[in-house]
Amino acid sequence: MTPSFEIVIPTSGRSSLRALIVRLAELGISPECIRVVEDRERRGPAHARNVGWRAASADWVVFLDDDVLPGEGWVELLERDLEASGPDVAGSQGRISVPLPQDRRPTDWERNVQGLETALWATADMAFRRSVLEELGGFDERFPRAFREDADLGLRVVDSGRQILQGERRTTHPVGPHRFWTSVLRERGNADDALMSALHGPRWHLRAGASVGRRKRHLATTAAGGAALMALLLRKRRLAVALAGGWLAGTGEFAWARIEPGPRTPREVAEVVATSAAMPAAASFWWAVGLARARNAEPLRRPVEAVLLDRDGTLVVDVPYNKDPGRVEPVRGARAALDRLRGAGIRTAVISNQSGVGRGLVTEEELAAVNRRVEELLGPLGPWLVCPHAPEAACNCRKPSPGLVLRAAAELGVDPSRCAVVGDIGSDVGAALAAGARPVLVPNEKTRREEIEAAPEVARNLDEAVDLLLGGRR
């Protein structure tokens, strides 16, 4: 039986998307099998791909860039590639072809794009088992550009003991337009390289078959230029001239290395010379920025299977001992955050201390009416696990005891270690830790400073908490 697949296409709105959709229609792909995810908020292709595959239900998810064109027989060859993939194969990579002009040498930009032909794990045409994406958390959204997010996922797949094989299907990736300073702007990828080093070790590029370019030379050239300026400010002219000569030699060698294999037209030479003067400094700057950002980077957490939510102060504004459904007010953004969890297939439950019942301030009927109103405003939340006891009852269900977490996990059929607890105070964190679940604190004005400092993970709001739990931004 041929495995089922769905196609996910992240897009920033490029006009090339239309040609791709037309080509897929010509190949007989049903529109129901295609998910186009527009990155309206500019959160990057990693985020868009995650949105796409989490909404899919097929065995395999095929990622295509919005500027590629699948070749003849692509569907049949894709099905053959997937059918031939054994249980230890997590991914199937298409063969990328970058057409270049036949009447002249390729430009520096064209040679750069041509690198896709030999790149490992390029998501221009890449299929992954959806079960593997779920297990590993998908793409790491800390990579904000279309750069290194595919290598990161590829390394995590290989490290999990699975294979990514080259398929037989072919896809064309046109070069596409670029602007004068595009090569300089692309040096922002050095920040992503720093994150890769923090996550996978300094020799990650050897395992991923990736090139880190001329970083050492760029650093040396930038250091020479910076030192020349400093010497000039200190009025040490001879030293400044010598250092400037070093900068000029490094820049000239770099420029010629880019010019020599190219067409050497006046426009190409002018662009390469100008950008070669700026690229070493840009590369060094973004490498330093990346090192600072990645200083405490940790491997991407596996996504949770269930999220257990506190009620008062987390889902709704805290009204002490509330027994009036009319006073229920959701916290800002709660419905949207919960919809994201539902859309990702994450099960939810509510775990709540309600000592007002044990103290005689709220009846069980009044509590149930308030809880029904919460669900009317926020949608279905799964089972409700409530501790009605007063604090002096010394029960094992009142948070920070683990009782509610363990009961909720059991009702959902999920191991507590695959659950997260989201709450606004230290007792929510304590209950999670006691049960072996993952705590995420979402503080409000009533959260004590020491509770925030002691929490393993803190999010500013529910939406950011969902980002963490879906394996996205930290």
Query: What integer best gives the mean pLDDT of the chain?
Result: 94
In eight-state DSSP terms, residue 203 is T
Cβ proximity of 25 and 36 under 8 Å:
no
HSE (CB half, 13 Å, CA atoms) of 403?
14
Catalytic status, residue 310: yes
Least confident of 70-84, 261-275, 339-353: 339-353
pLDDT, tens digit (0-9, with 9 covering 90-100), for 399-431? 999 999 999 999 999 999 889 999 999 999 999
Residues found in the chain: 474
- Residue 354 lies in domain: 306-469
Catalytic residue from among 66, 192, 310, 428: 310
Same domain, 205 and 336: no
pLDDT at 398 over 70: yes
CB atoms closer than 10 angstroms to residue 270: 11
Is pLDDT at 473 greater than 70 in this prediction? no
Q: For residue 2, is pLDDT > 80?
A: no
Of 118, 128, 115, 116, the residue nearest 78 (C-alpha) = 128
Which whole number is the average pLDDT over 18-34? 96
Sequence letter at residue 149:
E
Read off the pLDDT of residues 455-469 as tens digits, 9 standing for 90 and up: 999 999 999 999 888
Same-domain pairing of 82 and 19: yes
- pLDDT exceeds 90 at position 280: yes
pLDDT, average across residues 378-387: 96
Catalytic residue (one of 65, 312, 424, 467): 312
DSSP one-letter code for 316:
B
Amino acid at the residue 416: P
Neighbours of 349 (CB within 10 A): 23
Q: Residue 40: which pLDDT band, with cuts at 50, 70 and 90?
A: confident
Contact of 324 with 453, CB cutoff 8 Å: no
Which residues is 10 bridged to in the sheet? 37
Helix (H) or strand (E) holding 439: strand 438-441
0.85 exceeded by pTM: no
pLDDT at 177 over 60: yes
Domain-located, residue 474: no
Together in a domain, 185 and 259: yes
Spatial separation of the C-alpha atoms in residues 137 and 142, rounded to whole Å:
13
Same domain, 54 and 122: yes
Are 208 and 270 members of one domain? yes
CATH number of the domain residue 465 falls in: 3.40.50.1000
Give the pLDDT confidence of 217-258 residue by residue, as tens digits.
Answer: 999 999 999 999 999 999 999 999 999 999 999 999 999 999
Domain boundary among 297, 321, 350: 297
Same domain, 154 and 269: no
CA distance 159 to 162: 7
| Co-location of 108 and 161 in the same domain | yes
Predicted local distance difference test score (pLDDT) of residue 417: 87
